[in-house]
Structure 1
Amino acid sequence: MIKIKKYYAHYNHEDGMYYVDKSYPQKRNKKDYHKKDKCCGGINNEININVNSDRGNGDDQENVRRSAFAATANREQALTNAAGKVNTFGDEEFDLNNEYDPATSTFIPRQSGIYSITAGVNLEPTNLNASYVGAIIIRVNGGNTLVDEENMTGFGSGTVDVSGLVQLQAGDRVEVFALMTTPGVVTTTTDTRFQAARVS
């Protein structure tokens, strides 16, 4: 395909000519890399140069849609000492590529790549004076991928969160699980959140 790239010309006061660096991606000798060519000055000293690209359409990142979503909790959810899926991320803030389902709190990417994934849950024990452990797990296709836990000692409510870079394949199921070692709930504070974005 043909790429249109923008390069800037530099004005030489001594001879009244505009020059452009030979920095555009064409084969050249190393000794010619920093040489300059005369050119005509365009608007704002800009010139456009056509460069043949050998990347092909398949690897052109411009043809890949951006992927990112963010959601927070819209209701409380009871937890026990057995890891349960957190289904309360129903308040969708945005979803650029229609990959997140707020009804099931599940993210399914349409494109393979490296994703930055973050999730957090604010936990509140039934007995606010109880000491307990809270854990959060991000699972991909049912397997634990990112895990963190916190010891809560008489703190009442507390937040545990986890984040990391994960390589996902198109169609993978990404879900959040959590547990408490004492009865309690996932609250609806802004700390209870689930978000991801493709970074590569």
Structure 2
Amino acid sequence: MCHKKHNDCHCDNKKHNLVRASAFRANKNTPQLYEAALTPSVKVLFQTEQFDLADEYNPHISTFIPTKDGIYEITAKVSFCPSKSKSDDSSKNKKDNCKCDYCSKNSCKCDYCRKHHPSKDKKRNSSKEGYVASISINVNGDNIDIVNDFLEKARPIGLSVTTILQLQAGDRVQVLFSADANGEILAEASLTNFQAARFPSPM
């Protein structure tokens, strides 16, 4: 077998129709505010390239544009921290100001308090609110793969999506995020990132 590099080799053992390696990874370096009332979904911005073998990722528009047809594995991860609602603050203050009639302690769970104020525990257990968040791989304006999840209020979450797609040269691949709660898309390489790689193939 020939041990020369692919571009220098002209022997019969050279694999024909192979194309240049394609892979990139980009990370988010600036937090991104999200307001549910303004838009149903936003393009997630990944401003920092960790690597880009074929110069196909554009950090200025956070878009992957393959230069060759092929089969690609695409993965994206977004971490989101919802804003604390006013209702959460008011319920907290109400609980802090509520004193047990028996021992005069704040937020007491003694037998007397439970017996004479059973509605407190019931309300506390039934007041869990939640929100829906989703992340999607978008190609040329169409959402191809979407991951949805229902999460508790005021709880930071991480959503990830992985798919394998047949892309054409010039396709525009982006990551979209949506939620029915206001908050912030977190900026840290391990929390919010976008990457893709092409499988070796004659395409």
TM norm structure 1: 0.68
User: Of 68, 72, 82, which residue of structure 2 is paired with 1:125?
Assistant: 82
- Structure 2 residue ranges without an equivalent (≥5): 4-10, 89-128
Over residues 123-178 of structure 1, what are the superposed CA-to-partner deviations in whole Å (9 max), with x where a residue is unaligned?
00011766211100111000111110111114611001100101100000000110
Quick check: 1:80–1:179 contact (8 Å CA) kept in 2? no
**Structure 1: runs of 5 or more not aligned:** 7-49
Aligned to 1:80: 35
Corresponding residue for residue 191 of structure 1: 191
Q: Pick 1 or 2: higher relative contact order, CA cutoff 8 A, min separation 6.
A: 2
- Counterpart of 1:94 (choices 51, 62, 71) is 51
Residue 110 (structure 1) aligns with: 67
- Residue 145 of structure 2 is matched in structure 1 by 146
> Could you say if the C-alpha distance between residues 52 and 71 of structure 1 is closer, same or farther in structure 2, counting changes exceeding 3 Å?
closer
State the Cα distance separating 1:70 from its structure 2 match.
0.1
Identity of aligned residues (%): 39
Which is higher, the Rg of structure 1 or of structure 2?
Answer: 1
Q: Residue in 1 aligned with 2:103?
A: none
Question: Residues 52-91 of structure 1 correspond to what in structure 2 (within 5 A)?
Answer: 59-61=16-18, 64-81=19-36, 82-87=40-45, 89-91=46-48
TM-score, structure 2 normalization = 0.67
Native 8 Å contact 1:133 1:181 kept in 2: yes
The more displaced of 178-187 and 120-129 is 120-129
1:80 and 1:148 map into 2 onto residues whose CA distance is: 20
Aligned mates of 2:20, 2:51 — CA distance in 1: 15
CA distance in 1, matches of 2:135, 2:35: 13
Structure whose residues are more often strand by fraction: 1
Query: Using the alignment, how far apart are the partners of 1:197 and 1:132 within structure 2?
Result: 32
| Pairs within 5 Å for 1:11-22 | none
- State the AA in 2 paired with 1:159: G
Partners of 1:175 and 1:98 in 2: how far apart?
Answer: 16
**Matched length:** 147
- Checking the alignment, whether the CA contact within 8 Å between 1:79 and 1:178 is kept in structure 2 is no
Distance 1:150 1:102 in 2: 28
Q: Within the alignment, does 1:165 sit opposite 2:164 as a pair?
A: yes
Measured against aligned partners, the alpha-carbon deviations of 1:95-146 in whole angstroms (never above 9, x if no partner) come to 0000001111100000000000000100000117662111001110001111
- Report the counterpart of residue 177 of structure 2 in structure 1: 178
Alignment root-mean-square deviation, CA: 2.0
**Contact 2:82–2:154 at 8 Å: present in 1 too?**
no
CA gap 1:158/1:108 in 2 versus in 1, 3 angstroms: same
Amino acid at match of 1:132: Y
Distance between the aligned counterparts of 2:196 and 2:13, measured in 1? 35
Q: Which has the higher helix share?
A: 2
Matched residue type, 1:142? G
